[in-house]
Amino acid sequence: MDDTAPGPWATEHRLTIRAQTATRPGPLDEATGARWAEHRKTGLLLVACNCGFTTGWVPGAEVPALAELTEQHGGT
């Protein structure tokens, strides 16, 4: 047995969270003819893990606590 060989690859648990934003062309600035883009948060959040687990886009108030998420998908 080769004890110096690398071990197996694994997709370890690493949670990340993203906030969804919406963008629209703002009102016309008649002096310059420009429309600045306006951005705002939609209130939807998505939690994803490097292992493949994801909550999908859900309202922020419905995102489970970190401890609960970890328990739900087998993380440590």
State the residues that interact with Zn ion by CB under 5 A. 13, 49, 51, 53, 75
Nearest residue (CB) to Zn ion, 51 versus 63: 51
Minimum CB separation of residue 38 from Zn ion in Å reads 35
CA distance 64 to 49: 14
Q: What DSSP letter does each residue of 33-60 carry, written as one string?
A: TB--EEEEEEEEEEEEETTS-B--SEEG
User: Tokens 């948060």, residue?
Assistant: 41
Minimum CB separation of residue 52 from Zn ion in Å reads 7
Nearest residue (CB) to Zn ion, 44 versus 70: 70
Q: Is 65 helix (H, G, I), strand (E, B) or coil?
A: coil
Nearest residue (CB) to Zn ion, 45 versus 49: 49
Minimum CB separation of residue 73 from Zn ion in Å reads 5
